[in-house]
Amino acid sequence: MQQAIVVKIGSSSLTSDEGGLNRSQIEFFASELAALQKQGYPVLLVTSGAVAAGFRELGYETRPKALHEKQASASVGQALLMQAYHEAFARHGVGVGQILLTRIDFVSRKRVHNAQMTLEELLRRRMIPIINENDTVSVDELKFGDNDKLSSLVANLVRAKQLVIITDMDGLYTGDPRKDKAAKRIDRVSVIDEELYRYAGGSGSSVGTGGMRSKVEAARISMRGGIPVFIGRVTEPGDLAAAVEGVGKGTYFEPTGHSLPVKKQWLGFHSQPLGTVVVDEGAERALVSGGKSLLPAGVREVAGEFHPGDVIEVLNASGQTVGRGVVNYAAWQLQAVAGLGTDEVQRRIEVPRIEVIHRDEWITLASGVSSGGAGEPTS
């Protein structure tokens, strides 16, 4: 089976500005996705639109802001959304399956594995998985924030050939082309830096949540997994195929580093840190560019309640995130030996291994360095 194509469609492409589903748009996208599948590509669809589809049915005049109102709207809208997709794909002889995910599904290794197995079985059966955040139960602390990030996590999960993020803009510009006539489209991106984030604007729709910045962040996550990304328009028949073939109306993000193994992906993008440690400059260099493990001598501060086997986040002296790893100490143990040498640590406490975080259980998240801490450039 070929590598899959993950396609993400946002609310603004599926609903009207006033709310409610745009059936003709859903028919169009179903046709494009079905055509892509018939070319031999396994296809996964990450869709927004449940809240936007449902809030009018509940009598709200505008998209609600209160959590319980959004959850109620999603409850109604998700059924409407899936009914519309089911009917639209059926006209092309294509079956669909619904997958509702929350952030907690990616935090648990077992649950993310179960989701992966379900997706792969649907693809083997020539079905199109339709994936959305489970907005009816998600709370703000555990939300993805937008489905752009969800699409990047799904793309990494199935080791996709490509992630296609459909938006109402034909790619990323150096400014807002609707206001700045001098703005130029960026056709190819190999490195995502702060300047690129500055180019990304805010949300452009009253019914959606993700602006261009969130799409660039999704591209960064996908590129770290070795997955190329297209961000742009799909408005005419054949546009989706053109996007996959490299001649689409938008911006292409091309990974230049090695793809991350599944374990590193989980650490970096799915895990939920249960504490933080602050390290000194020497420990930061050892982790980021030296390919070394973190030892107690390099730890300066400890926060949170964690136990051996939990994931913790590592910060530098400036408070910037360096990376994440699986810790071998309980919080109280690490507080007791922070800053001490190996011999002194072994005299004071008993731990199965001296490393606070072993290099094999570590991922670097600092900008401009490799995921495993070997010092190679990355996106």
Domain boundaries, the chain: 5-262, 273-364
Q: How many CB atoms lie within 10 A of CB 204?
A: 15
pLDDT (0 to 100) of residue 201: 67
Facing residues of 304 across strands?
275
Euclidean distance between CA atoms 145 and 168, whole angstroms: 19
pLDDT at 245: 96
Q: In what order do the strands lie in the sheet with 299-304?
A: 299-304, 275-279, 311-315, 321-327, 357-364
Q: Please give the pLDDT value at position 61.
A: 87
Q: Match domain 273-364 to its CATH number in 3.40.50.300, 2.30.130.10, 2.30.110.10, 4.10.520.10.
A: 2.30.130.10
Query: What's the pLDDT at 270?
Result: 75
CATH architecture of 5-262: 3-Layer(aba) Sandwich (3.40)
Name the residue among 175, 166, 375, 358 with its Cα closest to residue 267.
Answer: 358
Radius of gyration for the alpha carbons in the chain, expressed in angstroms and rounded: 22
Query: What is the pLDDT, as a whole number, of residue 1?
Result: 67
According to the model, what pLDDT value does residue 209 have?
39
Please state, in angstroms and rounded to a whole number, the distance separating the CA atoms of residues 340 and 218.
39
Q: Which residues are bridge partners to 45 per DSSP?
A: 7, 130
How do strand 5-9 and strand 162-166 relate by DSSP bridges? Answer: parallel
pLDDT of residue 258: 67
How far apart CA 175 and CA 354 sit, in angstroms, is: 50
The residues near 282 (Cβ < 8 Å, ≥ 6 apart) are: 298
Instruction: Let me know: does 88 contact 95? Beta carbons within 8 Å.
Output: no
Angle of helix 212-224 versus helix 147-157 axis, rounded to 10: 10
* Residues in Cβ contact with 68 at an 8 Å cutoff, skipping those fewer than 6 apart: none
pLDDT at 207: 39
Q: Could you read off the pLDDT tens digit of each residue along the chain, which spans 379 residues? A: 689 999 999 888 998 877 789 999 999 999 999 999 999 999 999 998 898 899 989 999 888 888 889 889 989 999 999 999 999 999 999 999 999 988 778 777 788 889 999 999 999 999 999 999 887 776 554 456 678 999 999 998 899 999 999 998 899 999 888 888 899 999 999 988 888 988 886 444 433 334 888 999 999 989 988 899 999 999 999 999 999 999 999 999 999 766 777 778 778 877 889 999 999 999 999 999 999 999 999 999 999 999 999 999 999 999 999 999 999 999 999 999 999 999 999 999 998 899 999 999 999 987 544 344 333 323 2
pLDDT at 297: 97
Q: d(Cα 163, Cα 71) in Å, to the nearest integer? A: 28
Give dist(CA 214, CA 237) in Å, integer: 27
Q: Would you say 117 and 134 are in contact if contact means Cβ atoms under 8 Å apart?
A: no
Q: What is the pLDDT of residue 16?
A: 80
Q: For the chain, what is the largest distance between any 2 Cα atoms, rounded to a whole number of angstroms?
A: 71
- Inter-residue contact 12 to 207 (CB < 8 Å): yes
pLDDT at 140: 52
- Of 20, 26, 24, the residue nearest 59 (C-alpha): 20
**Fold agreement between 5-262 and 273-364:** no
